[in-house]
């Protein structure tokens, strides 16, 4: 068993690491402070091929693999988790389901603009009464001639205010519950689409999250993805992809926090010596390192399984659970090690700690991941 990355994957890591150092780290703190999305940086990410990474060149992709994309999410999230999740949603939850399930015509229409960064994607599934219980969604889509008429409200739509293209899920047959759910590609300019409340968040503050509203929204019938009733399956597969992306985000946050902590303990002195020489702190950091290594192996394994056509739903759940718990653990310990300085905004660790929390919640809470894992154990 060879755990070494391929050269092309290492090249992606080096490219993204250099890009992050030059373009993302300098703006991450200010973006968190203002809550403004760094659109110019995202466009530069697209310009160097990051959005295109895991897709075929037939549609404007880079013929890379999902593991290379996961590495990119990881490296970006070390510096700015808000950009990490925006990138992940764009790739995993919008472009990926189009790539996997859309018709050839839909792929050729929508993927080139998404993969080039000309347009940004979002994912509309969660509703006020349909979070963990996706089947509780009430949004409807009724066929009327050449259009589906969508009505409903979606909550917590990451990229909502800046998205051009959205994967949206609605009931085409309310009598069938989740089996009556269908998937649609919605453009922001479709009549009846609008943005609702913009969310004021504890963390990932530069990521743009909002309600998306559909009031007699007219969606051309050719924008139905797959067949009527296949929406739940499409949504679940998209979430499997997204969970690997969020796992990579959590992994990156944890790695970034540990890097910042190591820099600090090498120069901070107490009682006449650098504080890393105190066994208590050194052992805390050993635990942090171990949890990161465990998470990294699970994240990369899930991505590898996806790349190799191996069922990966359970691996994605394990990776998401382990990596996001590691993010919360490592950032909390990092703040503790820095003491008062860790709590202050002069250092990035308090931001990383705030960012880490949401990773345990979105794209399926970590309790849901335990349901997925245990469900597979007792089939």
DSSP assignment of 307-368 equals HTT---HHHHHHHHHHHHHHHHHHHHHHHHHHTHHHHSTTSTHHHHHHHHHHHTTSSS-HHH
92-126 confidence digits (pLDDT tens): 999 999 999 999 999 999 999 999 999 999 999 99
Please give the mean pLDDT across all residues of the chain. 97
φ, ψ of residue 170 in degrees (nearest 5): -150, 160
Question: What is the model's pLDDT at position 131?
Answer: 87
Q: How many C-beta atoms lie closer than 10 Å to residue 240's C-beta? A: 24
17-75 confidence digits (pLDDT tens): 999 999 999 999 999 999 999 999 999 999 999 999 999 999 999 999 999 999 999 99
Domains delineated in the chain: 7-120 (1.10.540.10), 122-232 (2.40.110.10), 233-377 (1.20.140.10)
Q: Which residues touch 73 (CB under 8 Å, ≥6 apart)?
A: 84, 87, 88, 245, 248, 249, 252
pLDDT grade for 143, boundaries at 50, 70 and 90? very high
Question: What is the model's pLDDT at position 142?
Answer: 98
Judge whether residue 263 has pLDDT over 90. Answer: yes
341-371 confidence digits (pLDDT tens): 999 999 999 999 999 999 999 999 999 999 9
Gap between the Cα atoms of 358 and 363, Å rounded: 10
297-319 confidence digits (pLDDT tens): 999 999 999 999 999 999 999 99
Overall average pLDDT of the 2-9 stretch? 93
Residue with tokens 């949206």: 168
Overall average pLDDT of the 147-164 stretch? 98
Overall average pLDDT of the 251-257 stretch? 98
Q: Which residues are catalytic?
A: 363
Residue with tokens 């890393």: 276
Judge whether residue 183 has pLDDT over 80. Answer: yes
198-228 confidence digits (pLDDT tens): 999 999 999 999 999 999 999 999 999 999 9
Residues in a beta bridge with 273: 270
- What is this structure's pTM? 0.97
pLDDT grade for 133, boundaries at 50, 70 and 90? confident
Find out whether 126 and 136 touch, Cβ atoms under 8 Å.
no
Which two tokens mark 225? 């993805």
pLDDT grade for 1, boundaries at 50, 70 and 90? confident
pLDDT grade for 132, boundaries at 50, 70 and 90? confident
Q: Which residues touch 14 (CB under 8 Å, ≥6 apart)?
A: none
Judge whether residue 379 has pLDDT over 80. Answer: no
pLDDT grade for 337, boundaries at 50, 70 and 90? very high
């Amino acid at each position: 068993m060879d755990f070494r990355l391929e050269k092309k994957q290492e090249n992606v890591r080096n490219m993204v690491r250099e890009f992050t150092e030059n373009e993302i780290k300098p703006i991450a703190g200010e973006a968190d402070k203002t809550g403004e999305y760094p659109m110019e940086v995202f466009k530069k990410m697209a310009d160097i091929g990051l959005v295109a990474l895991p897709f075929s060149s037939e549609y404007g992709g880079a013929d890379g693999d999902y593991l290379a994309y996961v590495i990119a999410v990881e490296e970006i999230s070390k510096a700015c988790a808000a950009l990490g999740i925006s990138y992940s949603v764009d790739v995993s939850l919008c472009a990926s389901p189009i790539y996997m399930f859309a018709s050839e015509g839909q792929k050729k229409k929508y993927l080139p603009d998404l993969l080039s960064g000309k347009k940004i994607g979002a994912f509309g599934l969660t509703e006020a009464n349909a979070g963990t219980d996706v089947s509780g969604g009430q949004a409807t889509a009724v066929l009327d001639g050449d259009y589906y008429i969508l009505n409903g409200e979606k909550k917590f739509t990451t990229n909502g205010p800046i998205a051009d293209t959205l994967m949206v899920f609605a009931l085409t047959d309310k009598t069938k519950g989740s089996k009556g759910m269908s998937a649609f590609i919605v453009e922001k300019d479709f009549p009846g689409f609008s943005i609702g409340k913009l969310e004021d968040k504890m963390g990932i503050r530069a990521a743009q999250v909002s309600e998306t509203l559909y009031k007699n929204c007219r969606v051309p019938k050719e924008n139905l993805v797959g067949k009527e009733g296949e929406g739940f399956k499409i949504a679940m597969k998209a979430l499997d992809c997204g969970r690997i992306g969020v796992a990579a985000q959590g992994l990156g946050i944890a790695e970034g926090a540990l890097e910042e902590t190591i820099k600090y303990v090498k120069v901070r002195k107490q009682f006449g010596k650098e504080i890393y020489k105190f066994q208590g702190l050194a052992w805390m950091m050993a635990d942090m390192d171990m949890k990161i290594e465990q998470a990294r192996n699970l994240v990369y394994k899930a991505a590898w399984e996806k790349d190799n056509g191996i069922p990966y739903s359970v691996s994605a759940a394990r990776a998401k659970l382990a990596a996001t718990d590691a993010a919360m653990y490592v950032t909390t310990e990092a703040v503790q090690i820095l003491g008062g300085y860790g709590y202050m905004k002069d250092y990035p660790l308090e931001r990383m700690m705030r960012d880490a929390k949401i990773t345990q919640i979105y794209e399926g809470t970590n309790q849901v991941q335990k349901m997925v894992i245990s469900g597979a154990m007792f089939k």
